[in-house]
A = this chain, B = another copy of it.
């Protein structure tokens, strides 16, 4: 018998799905990107799905249900935007144990509702069931994209520039902070703690936003990224996905990786290297994309986009040029290797 952990999440998906051929003429892209792509004439239907499990993806001790509902929607929309497409509908399914009251679910749905309003998507279906224990939420987002404008993970070419939106690492540090505060609270419930000063990083963890604005900016700038992925598992992991599927290498410049000052400070408090948090922290829901160098001027004047390296030949590997001028070979789980 084989423990599923021997394969890892991506290995397991590959193992289980390798025997599934694509047979439908309307299936343009199946497993292996941020979302599946279904042909519908000039417009494609783009579908992405995520499952969140209590005790694995969220801890209700420090995640308000309203934030959980909001975030559960946003992480799915982020996958649709990462295809350079626009989400239009979602379905929400959940399984809950009897400990959840209607009022608790109302809070969850208030968050889902807020996300639907903010991003202009319709809730169009789902399933509701009981569970022996805890809560599982499964959301599917359905979007629309112009066939010619979709951005896959597989389109990066040597010479393309690597771009990153927003800033990275803050969501991970927000989570570290919440977990530390929770431990302190359990031991010393009498001590009042104030997280107000760390609003930015806590907010990045509890209430992330998807980069709808970027997809709209790309359209206005008449820019189509050559490849794109959303940063949910950390920059290193996402860069590996792009390099693997595009069959290229990459040189990432540490000096080009955007990190918020609050995240810098908190990393030092936790005795972590800020770049490590950006590379491996996850849950930032920013976009990693590549552009043809001839499009550099289109990006240069867009706010909140950072050029952070260059796509190389596959033979060159995937490397990080540190601020100190050292060249590190990046690992998919770079975290363990620094």
Report A's interface with B, CB cutoff 8 A: 1-7, 9, 12-13, 15-17, 19-24, 26-27, 29-31, 35-36, 38, 40-41, 43, 45, 47-57, 88-89, 91, 93-96, 98, 100-103, 105-106, 109, 113, 116, 120-134, 136, 138, 140, 142, 144
Contact = CB atoms under 8 A, between A and B. Distances in A.
B38 A88 contact: yes
Contacts of A122: 20-24, 27, 30
A124 B48 contact: no
B125 A47 contact: yes
| Count of this chain's copies in the oligomeric assembly | 2
Nearest to A16: B109
A120 B40 contact: no
Contacts of A1: 101-103
B89 A47 contact: yes
B121 A24 contact: yes
Given A56-B129, A121-B24, A2 B103 contact: yes
Nearest to A76: B127
Nearest to A26: B88
A195 B106 CA distance: 46
A189 B58 CA distance: 42
A82 B51 CA distance: 26
